[in-house]
Amino acid sequence: MKVLVPIKRVVDYNVKVRAKSDETGPDLNNVKMAINPFCEIAIEEAVRLKESGVAEEVIAVSVGSSASQEQLRTCLALGADRAILVETDEDAEPLGVAKALKAIVDKEQPGLIILGKQAIDGDSNQTGQMLGALLNYPQGTFASKVEITGESVEVIREIDGGLQTVLLKLPAIVTTDLRLNEPRYASLPNIMKAKKKPLDTFSAAELNIDLAPRLKTLKVSPPPERAAGIIVESVDELVDKLRNEAKVIS
């Protein structure tokens, strides 16, 4: 079975992104870029499936600018066998990305597609579900455990208030949540080996995909600031403030 892992290049999760002063967008000048943390978990899960003999091949794919090659190489260093870049300078929305991924799925016919539940830049949480609808595949979103059993995959999902277990017919889509696994670090020999692994590039036009955005971003502004608070000296003072100043406890 082939496992396809779509990944995204995003601003590193430690960076506090600010809106540009003219409010035309986020200020991304000279910020550190990285693989989206949930995508890292997806790659790890796919590589573990290969290591346990369930998967034969792990293919990483990304839809983005040529700079995304850097994150695809990271995936190759983490254990993916080859990579595909659907190259576009458009800041593609989840629907466009899902259409591009469908084109790759049609070519590659993977048995399982594992991707992050959300990218930490747009925070949309849509791409996996949209790909599921376009392919008419079942989905196990927000997964904390994935187990292949014959022609199906059992997925434990993180839901409001607890866990839900679903059984999905393959081919299927899984989106990763935090507790699915702890991603490994790439070793230096594997980083060197990754440079020789195949990385194919397609343009959106070659795949006949329309990545034009449907949403117009009118402005990007900073969130409302909180007024500075005070430091209290004791638990007594805290309780007094909450009771008599903020009036939030009785």
Nearer to other proteins, 188 or 230 (CB): 230
Nearer to other proteins, 38 or 202 (CB): 38
Q: Where are the beta strands (DSSP E) in 36-171?
A: 57-64, 82-87, 112-116, 139-149, 152-159, 162-169
Number of residues that bind other proteins (CB under 8 A): 83
- The identity of residue 236, as a single letter, is D
| Footprint of other proteins on 229-248 (CB under 8 A) | 229-232, 234-236, 238-239, 241-242, 246, 248
- The identity of residue 26, as a single letter, is P
Angle between helix 37-51 and helix 69-78 axes, rounded to 10 deg: 30
Q: Which member of 24, 66, 124, 187 binds other proteins (CB under 8 A)? A: 124
- Name the minimum Å distance from CB 147 to other proteins: 11
| Footprint of other proteins on 30-89 (CB under 8 A) | 38
CA-CA distances (angstroms) from residue 103 to 60, 89, 166, 169, 236?
Answer: 14, 18, 27, 21, 63
| Footprint of other proteins on 186-205 (CB under 8 A) | none
Is residue 12 within the footprint of other proteins (CB under 8 A)? no
Which residue's structure tokens are 């800041």? 91
Q: Which member of 54, 69, 108, 144 binds other proteins (CB under 8 A)? A: 144
Residues 88/204, Cβ–Cβ less than 8 Å = yes
Is residue 169 within the footprint of other proteins (CB under 8 A)? yes
- Name the minimum Å distance from CB 210 to other proteins: 10
Q: Which member of 21, 123, 151, 185 binds other proteins (CB under 8 A)? A: 123
Q: Which member of 71, 85, 137, 181 binds other proteins (CB under 8 A)? A: 137
- Which residue in 122, 143, 114 sits closest to 40, CA to CA? 114
- Name the minimum Å distance from CB 139 to other proteins: 6
Which two three-digit tokens encode residue 102? 């469908």
- Name the minimum Å distance from CB 196 to other proteins: 34
- Which residue in 201, 240, 198, 200 sits closest to 249, CA to CA? 240
- Name the minimum Å distance from CB 13 to other proteins: 7
Is residue 149 within the footprint of other proteins (CB under 8 A)? no
Residues 149/115, Cβ–Cβ less than 8 Å = no
| Footprint of other proteins on 208-227 (CB under 8 A) | 213-223, 226-227
Measured from the Cβ of residue 18, the count of other Cβ atoms closer than 10 Å reads 12
Total residue count of the chain as it appears in this document: 250
- Name the minimum Å distance from CB 64 to other proteins: 17
- Which residue in 5, 71, 72 sits closest to 44, CA to CA? 5
- Name the minimum Å distance from CB 45 to other proteins: 16
Nearer to other proteins, 53 or 250 (CB): 250
Which two three-digit tokens encode residue 198? 């195949």
